[in-house]
Amino acid sequence: MKDFGYTINRDRQIDYDALPRDVYHQLKKMEPSVNACISCGTCAATCTAGQFTDFSLRRYILLLRRGDNSEVIKNIDKCMLCGKCMLACPMGVNTRNVIQSIQLIINKL
Amino acid sequence: MHKFDPFVLPFTLGLIFLAGCLATKYFTWVKNLPGEEKTKIKKGIFTLKSLKALQEVFSESLLHRKIFKVNPLLGYMHASLAFGWFLLIAAGNVESRFFYHGHSSPPYIPIFFRFFQPHPTNFRYEGLFSFIMDLLLLIILTGVALAWFKRLYSKYFGMKKTTVLLLGDRLALSSLWVIFPLRFLAESFTSASYGGGHFLTSNAGAFLGSFLPAQQLVYPTWWAYSLALGIFFAALPFSRYMHIPTEVLLIFLRRYGVSEKKVTTSFTNIEINSCSRCGVCIDPCQLASVANIKGVQSVYHLQSIRNQATCEDQSMNCLMCGRCDTICPVGIDIKSIRMAQRKQQAIQKENAFSYVSKINVKKADVIYFGGCMTNLLPSVKKSMIDILKEAEINYWFMDETDSICCGRPLMLAGKEAQARELMLKNKALINASGAKTLVTSCPICFKVFNEEYKLNIEVLHHSQYLLRLVEAKQITINRLNTRAVYHDPCELGRGSGIYDQPRKLLNKILHLNSSSQEKENALCCGGSLANLKIASDERKKITLHALQTLTANNPDALITACPACKKTFAISAPITVMDIAEVLSKSMVRKDRRQINRVKIRQDVPEEVEAG
Tell me the per-residue pLDDT of B537-554, one tens digit each, with 9 for 90 and over.
Answer: 999 999 999 999 999 999
Query: Is residue B493 classed as helix, strand or coil in its secondary structure?
Result: coil
pLDDT per position as a tens digit, B439-461: 999 999 999 999 999 999 999 99
The neighbour count for residue B597, using CB atoms within 10 Å, is: 15
Min distance B372 CA to chain A CA atoms (Å):
6
Position B1 pLDDT exceeds 70: no
Are residues B284 and B327 in contact, defined by beta-carbon separation less than 8 angstroms?
A: yes
Min distance A98 CA to chain B CA atoms (Å):
9
pLDDT at B599: 59
- Summarize the confidence of residues A46-68 as an average pLDDT: 94
- Summarize the confidence of residues B489-498 as an average pLDDT: 96
DSSP line for B281-311: TTTT-HHHHTT---S-SHHHHHHHHHTT---
Amino acid at A19: L
CA–CA separation, B212 and B202 (whole Å): 15
Are residues B346 and B417 in contact, defined by beta-carbon separation less than 8 angstroms?
A: no
Min distance B465 CA to chain A CA atoms (Å):
24
Query: Which A positions 72-91 lie with beta carbon below 8 A of chain B?
Result: 77-78, 80-84, 87-88
Contact B413 A81 (CB under 8 A): yes
Which CATH architecture describes the domain B6-27+66-243?
Up-down Bundle (1.20)
Does the CB of B372 have a partner CB in chain A at under 8 Å? Answer: yes
Closest Cα in chain A to B538: A92
C-alpha dist (Å) from residue B278 to B67, B77, B236, B377: 10, 12, 15, 42
DSSP secondary structure code for residue B522 in this structure: P
pLDDT at B610: 46
Query: Is residue A53 classed as helix, strand or coil in its secondary structure?
Result: coil
- Ranges in chain B annotated CATH 1.20.950: 6-27+66-243
pLDDT at A8: 80
Structure confidence at residue B598 as a pLDDT band (50, 70, 90)? low
- Structure ipTM: 0.88
Does the CB of B352 have a partner CB in chain A at under 8 Å? Answer: yes
Closest CA to B385 of B581, B577, B559: B581
According to CATH, what is the number of the domain B366-467?
3.40.50
- Summarize the confidence of residues B521-527 as an average pLDDT: 95
Q: Give me the sheet containing B366-369, strands edge to edge.
A: B395-397, B366-369, B437-440, B458-461
CA–CA separation, B185 and B177 (whole Å): 13
Are residues A55 and A41 in contact, defined by beta-carbon separation less than 8 angstroms?
A: no
- Lowest-pLDDT choice from B123-132, B301-310, B376-385: B123-132
- Ranges in chain B annotated CATH 3.40.50: 366-467, 477-595
pLDDT per position as a tens digit, B397-428: 999 988 899 999 999 999 999 999 999 999 99
Are residues B7 and B223 in contact, defined by beta-carbon separation less than 8 angstroms?
A: yes
Position B289 pLDDT exceeds 70: yes
Position B348 pLDDT exceeds 50: yes
What are the φ and ψ backbone dihedral angles of B484, each rounded to 5 degrees?
-135, 165
pLDDT at B260: 94
Q: pLDDT over 90 for what percent of chain B?
A: 86
Indicate the class that CATH gives domain B262-343. Answer: mainly alpha
Query: Is residue A15 classed as helix, strand or coil in its secondary structure?
Result: coil
- Nearest by CB: A81 against B312, B409, B534: B409
- Summarize the confidence of residues B151-157 as an average pLDDT: 88
Query: Which A positions 48-67 lie with beta carbon below 8 A of chain B?
Result: 48-49, 51-53
> Could you give the residue ranges of the DSSP H alpha helices within B32-71?
35-44, 48-56, 65-70
Contacts of B535 in chain A (CB under 8 A): 32-33, 92, 94
Min distance B411 CA to chain A CA atoms (Å):
10
Contact B372 A82 (CB under 8 A): yes
Structure confidence at residue A5 as a pLDDT band (50, 70, 90)? confident
> Could you give the residue ranges of the DSSP H alpha helices within A1-109?
22-30, 42-46, 57-65, 70-75, 84-88, 95-108
Query: Is residue B369 classed as helix, strand or coil in its secondary structure?
Result: strand
CATH of the structural domain B477-595, one choice from 3.30.70, 3.90.660, 2.40.160, 3.40.50? 3.40.50
Query: Is residue B477 classed as helix, strand or coil in its secondary structure?
Result: strand
Position A49 pLDDT exceeds 90: yes
Mean pLDDT of chain B: 93
- Summarize the confidence of residues B35-55 as an average pLDDT: 94
Q: pLDDT over 70 for what percent of chain A?
A: 99
pLDDT per position as a tens digit, B191-212: 999 988 899 999 999 999 999 9
Structure confidence at residue B611 as a pLDDT band (50, 70, 90)? very low
Position B126 pLDDT exceeds 90: no
Structure confidence at residue A37 as a pLDDT band (50, 70, 90)? very high
Does the CB of A28 have a partner CB in chain B at under 8 Å? Answer: no
Confidence (pTM): 0.90
pLDDT per position as a tens digit, B565-585: 999 999 999 999 999 999 999
Contact B352 A78 (CB under 8 A): yes
Position B513 pLDDT exceeds 90: yes
Position B612 pLDDT exceeds 50: no
Contacts of A103 in chain B (CB under 8 A): 347
CA–CA separation, B315 and B150 (whole Å): 29
Position B142 pLDDT exceeds 50: yes
Structure confidence at residue B602 as a pLDDT band (50, 70, 90)? low
- Nearest by CB: B355 against A46, A52, A107: A52
- Summarize the confidence of residues B93-122 as an average pLDDT: 88
- Ranges in chain B annotated CATH 1.10.1060.10: 262-343
pLDDT at B219: 95
Closest Cα in chain B to A97: B532
